[in-house]
């Protein structure tokens, strides 16, 4: 079960669902396969996972194999993870692949960190990337940076996303990166991707300038950094943040703190992108 390369011309402009049923080879050894192409009804996406054929069986298997009692608090939390999981993923992913991801998401829920769960479609048509990040770091700028990273690292030709943000400390982005036909090959093989490295890049894209300032202050002042951060975290306007690094901000703070009444301090620099020989 996967997605086709064509969007539906009717009903809704979604990628067509494709179900392939492989039959035993005939007497001549020729493989046989039936393919059903269409769209699942909207109720397949809005109804509880416990009421959707195939999905309910998959969900029950995940909960049973997790070792968590279904009627326990943790069991109910796991069910909630699966209820809110991207429905296309529940339809396309087998239990063996879904179980470790669902458990990881369950234990991630209230931790402020960026995590990536990456899956390649067996046909090579697309990549599915689930990204969890601290909700207060989710901005359009961050999303666009993540999209560009995923396109470049996964060899994508286009990308789509869905965002989910609730009262949880984490927001979730689901990216689907479509791979151009010419990059798949006649016999698609799983592309090797350094998931940890890509996750680190996505985490860096989600970092705010204030996060970098905090690190720079800790590197220079150690235990005193928190007090300094509380005093200056909101002191730098957005224009300054765009032009200067957090390390430079720490230098400027030291210069300001070293001034006494009546003193003057000056720093000259060359703006980013300035032509050679131009002044700052």
Question: Could you tell me if residue 266 is inside a domain?
Answer: no
Q: What percent of the chain has pLDDT over 70?
A: 93
Nearest to 206 by CA among 123, 115, 278, 129: 115
Q: Please indicate, yes or no, whether residues 114 and 169 belong to a single structural domain of this protein.
A: yes
* Domain end call among 107, 124, 155: 107
Partners of 19 in the β-ladder: 36
Average pLDDT over residues 171-191: 77
Q: Please indicate, yes or no, whether residues 118 and 152 belong to a single structural domain of this protein.
A: yes
The per-residue pLDDT of the chain, averaged, comes to: 88
Average pLDDT over residues 20-37: 89
Question: Could you tell me if residue 277 is inside a domain?
Answer: no
Domain that holds residue 234: 209-257
Q: Please indicate, yes or no, whether residues 138 and 196 belong to a single structural domain of this protein.
A: yes
Average pLDDT over residues 158-169: 93
pLDDT tens-place string over residues 57-86? 999 999 999 999 999 999 999 999 999 999
Question: Could you tell me if residue 265 is inside a domain?
Answer: no
- Whose tokens are 């809110």? That residue is 84
Q: Please indicate, yes or no, whether residues 124 and 171 belong to a single structural domain of this protein.
A: yes
Question: Could you tell me if residue 89 is inside a domain?
Answer: yes
Q: Please indicate, yes or no, whether residues 114 and 199 belong to a single structural domain of this protein.
A: yes
Q: What pTM was computed for the model?
A: 0.78
CATH code at position 137: 3.30.1360
- Whose tokens are 């985490």? That residue is 203
Structural domain count, the chain: 4
Q: Please indicate, yes or no, whether residues 138 and 90 belong to a single structural domain of this protein.
A: no
Q: Which structure tokens are listed for 118? A: 């990456």
Question: Could you tell me if residue 54 is inside a domain?
Answer: yes
Q: Please indicate, yes or no, whether residues 172 and 125 belong to a single structural domain of this protein.
A: yes
pLDDT category of residue 189 using cuts at 50, 70 and 90: low
Whether the per-residue pLDDT at 273 is higher than 90: the answer is no
* Domain end call among 140, 172, 203: 203
Q: Please indicate, yes or no, whether residues 159 and 178 belong to a single structural domain of this protein.
A: yes
Question: Could you tell me if residue 280 is inside a domain?
Answer: no
pLDDT tens-place string over residues 32-55? 899 999 999 999 999 999 999 899
Whether the per-residue pLDDT at 279 is higher than 60: the answer is no
Q: Please indicate, yes or no, whether residues 171 and 213 belong to a single structural domain of this protein.
A: no
Q: Please indicate, yes or no, whether residues 198 and 121 belong to a single structural domain of this protein.
A: yes
Count Cβ atoms within 10 A of the Cβ of residue 210 and give its class: 0-12 exposed, 13-18 middle, 19 or more buried.
Answer: middle
- Cα separation, 72 vs 3, whole angstroms: 35
Q: Please indicate, yes or no, whether residues 147 and 199 belong to a single structural domain of this protein.
A: yes
Q: Please indicate, yes or no, whether residues 131 and 176 belong to a single structural domain of this protein.
A: yes
Question: Could you tell me if residue 144 is inside a domain?
Answer: yes
Q: Residue 187: what pLDDT?
A: 46
Average pLDDT over residues 89-93: 95
């Amino acid at each position: 079960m996967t997605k086709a390369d064509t969007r539906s011309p009717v009903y809704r402009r979604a990628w067509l669902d494709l179900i392939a049923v492989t039959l035993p080879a005939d007497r001549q050894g020729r493989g046989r396969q039936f393919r059903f192409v269409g769209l699942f009804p909207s109720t397949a996406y809005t109804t509880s996972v416990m009421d959707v054929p195939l999905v309910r069986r998959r969900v029950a298997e995940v909960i049973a194999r997790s070792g968590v009692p279904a009627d326990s608090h943790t069991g109910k939390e796991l069910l909630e993870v699966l209820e809110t999981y991207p429905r296309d993923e529940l339809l396309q992913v087998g239990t063996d692949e879904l179980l470790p991801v669902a458990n990881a998401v369950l234990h991630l829920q209230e931790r402020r960190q960026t995590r990536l769960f990456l899956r390649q479609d067996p046909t090579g048509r697309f990549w599915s990337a689930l990204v969890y990040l601290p909700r207060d770091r989710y901005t359009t700028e961050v999303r666009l940076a993540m999209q560009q990273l995923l396109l470049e690292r996964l060899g994508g030709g286009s990308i789509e996303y869905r965002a989910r943000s609730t009262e949880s400390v984490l927001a979730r982005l689901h990216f689907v990166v479509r791979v151009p036909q010419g990059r798949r090959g006649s016999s698609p093989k799983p592309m090797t991707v350094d998931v940890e490295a890509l996750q680190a890049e996505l985490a860096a894209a989600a970092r705010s300038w204030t996060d970098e300032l905090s690190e720079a202050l800790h590197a220079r002042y150690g235990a005193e950094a928190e007090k300094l951060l509380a005093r200056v975290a909101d002191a730098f306007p957005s224009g300054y943040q765009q032009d200067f690094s957090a390390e430079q901000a720490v230098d400027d703070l030291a210069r300001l703190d070293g001034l006494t009444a009546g003193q003057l301090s000056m720093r000259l620099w060359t703006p980013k992108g300035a032509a050679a020989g131009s002044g700052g």
